[in-house]
């Protein structure tokens, strides 16, 4: 599967919100539109507003359009609120779980951690970033990478692990105890606009 390898701050500037919780993205000057002087005077129409909201979510989870469309189709045929189901599917991606536990500072670093085979699910190596974790899954790390992960965690002292994950920092093990709920997602996005975009 292809992956976006271009400048990441440009994505935050394009959608007008920080897509990663690090100073490079959250600095106020970085939320200006892309380009040397930014592009001013543009008023978004209904389509543009919905597109921008969808792009925010895509960039936040580092998912390409084809993948995102697949998640949307799956969410639309699953019982329950389509927006909430879509958010659950994205939150339960393995690379996102690594980020939520603070083992990596960004979604791109988390993807690399998984892709290089450092993560174990129930004792078995999983190197697919889009792997979906389930309730009861135990997530651990190979011994060789634990030092790097602890250093990453020290750079994020106030990081909060969501309630649907049970995390033991002493052993660097985590367990999925529930499905994520909308109020546990630390990202402001209007799911109704995204669902409307695909209708």
For the chain, give the number of residues.
199
pLDDT single digits (tens) 138-158: 999 999 999 999 998 888 877
**pLDDT value of residue 155:** 85
**Which pTM was predicted?**
0.86
pLDDT at 161 over 90: no
Provide the token pair at 156.
């994020």
Report domain extents, the chain.
9-90+187-197, 94-178
- Domain 94-178 classification at class level: alpha beta
pLDDT at 79 over 80: yes
The arrangement of secondary structure in 9-90+187-197, i.e. its CATH architecture, is Orthogonal Bundle (1.10)
First to last CA, the chain: 26
21-25, 117-121, 146-150, 156-160: which has the minimum mean pLDDT?
21-25
Residue 27 pLDDT class (50, 70, 90 cuts): low
SS3 93: strand
Of the two residues 150 and 13, the one the predictor is more confident about is 150
SS3 167: strand
* CA pair distance 161, 158, nearest whole angstrom: 10
How far is CA 171 from each of CA 92, 136, 153, 156, rounded to the nearest angstrom? Answer: 22, 17, 13, 18
pLDDT single digits (tens) 84-98: 999 999 999 999 999
């Amino acid at each position: 599967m292809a992956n976006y390898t271009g400048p990441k701050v440009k994505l935050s500037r394009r959608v007008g919100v920080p897509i990663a919780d690090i100073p490079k993205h959250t600095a106020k000057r970085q939320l200006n539109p892309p380009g040397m002087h930014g592009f001013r005077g543009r008023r978004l129409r209904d389509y543009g507003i919905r597109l921008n909201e969808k792009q925010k979510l895509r960039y936040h989870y580092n998912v390409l359009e084809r993948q995102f469309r697949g998640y949307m189709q799956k969410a639309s045929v699953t019982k329950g609120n389509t927006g909430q189901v879509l958010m659950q599917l994205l939150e339960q991606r393995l690379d996102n779980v690594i980020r939520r536990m603070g083992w990596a500072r960004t979604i791109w670093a988390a993807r690399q951690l998984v892709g290089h085979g450092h993560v174990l699910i129930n004792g078995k190596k999983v190197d697919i970033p889009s792997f979906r974790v389930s309730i009861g899954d135990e997530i651990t790390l190979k011994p060789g990478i634990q030092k790097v992960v602890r250093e990453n965690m020290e750079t994020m002292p106030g990081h909060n692990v969501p309630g649907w994950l049970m995390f033991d920092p002493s052993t660097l093990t985590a367990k999925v105890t529930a499905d994520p709920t909308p109020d546990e997602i630390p990202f402001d996005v209007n799911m109704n606009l995204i669902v409307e975009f695909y209708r």
